Amino acid sequence: MIRINLLGRARPKAARKAVPLEGALQAGLLFAAVVFSIGVLWYEWAQLDADAQKTSAHISQQTREKARLQNLKTQVENFEKEKELLQQRIGIIEDLQRNRTGGQELLDALANTVDRTDTLWLTSLDRKGNALSINGSAGSIDAVANFITELKRSGYFDQVEIKESHQDDANKTVQTFIFELTAQFALPQAKPPTSASAPAPSPAPVPAKKG
């Protein structure tokens, strides 16, 4: 009896090709290069992120400092305004005190001076501090001159100067002269009292006569 092998002969297995050592080394180097590049990039990114955080913190600090300086500037400006207002108030108070000081003495001195001058009367008096502007009318030029002399003699007025003096043409019936003068008002300085109880100098001793 004849036997037929339908399976046929088994084919031999193909042998695997060996991977070259040079290719494996190149792949390893490539992988290492990629890992190194990633590490470098990560380090650079970390440095940039740290620098960005420092810059952001610096900007925040500068912003706070700017706000503080702006607030300080506003406070200084407000202080300067308050100082200016205070100085103005002090100036007004000093002007009022200067105008008030010696006010009664000024009126009394003017009244006494006018009383000692015949045919003369005052029409206005303007005072700014110690500076006076006096306007009036007189029956003659001599009366104006006498008034100026009396002002100087009173001890209350300095730098008396005549600014204007002319005849009043509007008054046809009586001769009248209109005048304007300026002066400085000053209270007389008090003289120091003399000591009446000071001992008199003792007389010089008389030498004894030789006998």
Q: Is the pLDDT of residue 5 over 90?
A: no
Question: Per-residue pLDDT averaged across 52-78, rounded?
Answer: 90
Q: What is the CATH number of the domain that holds 148?
A: 3.30.1360.100
Question: Per-residue pLDDT averaged across 93-99, rounded?
Answer: 58
Same domain, 96 and 107: no
What pLDDT is attached to residue 181? 95
**Per-residue tokens: 169:** 């043409």
Task: Report the chain's mean pLDDT, rounded to a whole number.
Answer: 79
- Does residue 157 contact residue 182 with C-beta atoms inside 8 Å? no
User: Which of 56, 71, 100 marks a domain boundary?
Assistant: 100
Task: Give residue 89's domain range.
Answer: 31-100
Q: How far is CA 29 from CA 15, 40, 111, 156, 207, in A?
A: 29, 16, 120, 113, 139
Same domain, 115 and 88: no
Is the residue at 89 inside a domain?
yes
Neighbours of 132 (CB within 10 A): 20
Whole-structure pTM value:
0.44
What pLDDT is attached to residue 162? 92
What pLDDT is attached to residue 198? 45
Please give the angle made by the CA atoms of 25, 27 and 28, to the nearest 5 degrees: 65
Per residue in 151-201, pLDDT (tens digit) is: 999 889 999 999 999 888 887 788 899 999 999 998 776 444 444 444 545
Question: Per-residue pLDDT averaged across 41-55, rounded?
Answer: 89
Is the residue at 162 inside a domain?
yes
Nearest CA to 156 among 99, 113, 200, 93?
A: 113
Distance CA 78, CA 65 (A): 20
User: Residue 210's pLDDT band (boundaries 50, 70, 90)?
Assistant: very low
Per residue in 112-128, pLDDT (tens digit) is: 999 888 889 999 999 88
Same domain, 84 and 62: yes
Phi-psi region of 121 (alpha: psi -120 to 50; beta: other; left: phi over 0): beta
Neighbours of 183 (CB within 10 A): 20
Structural domain total, the chain: 2
Percentage of the chain modeled with pLDDT above 70? 73
Positions of E strands within the chain: 120-128, 131-138, 157-167, 177-185
Q: Render the burial of 157-171: b for 16+ CB within 10 Å, e for the rest.
A: beebeeeeeeeeeee
Same domain, 179 and 111: yes
What pLDDT is attached to residue 12? 59
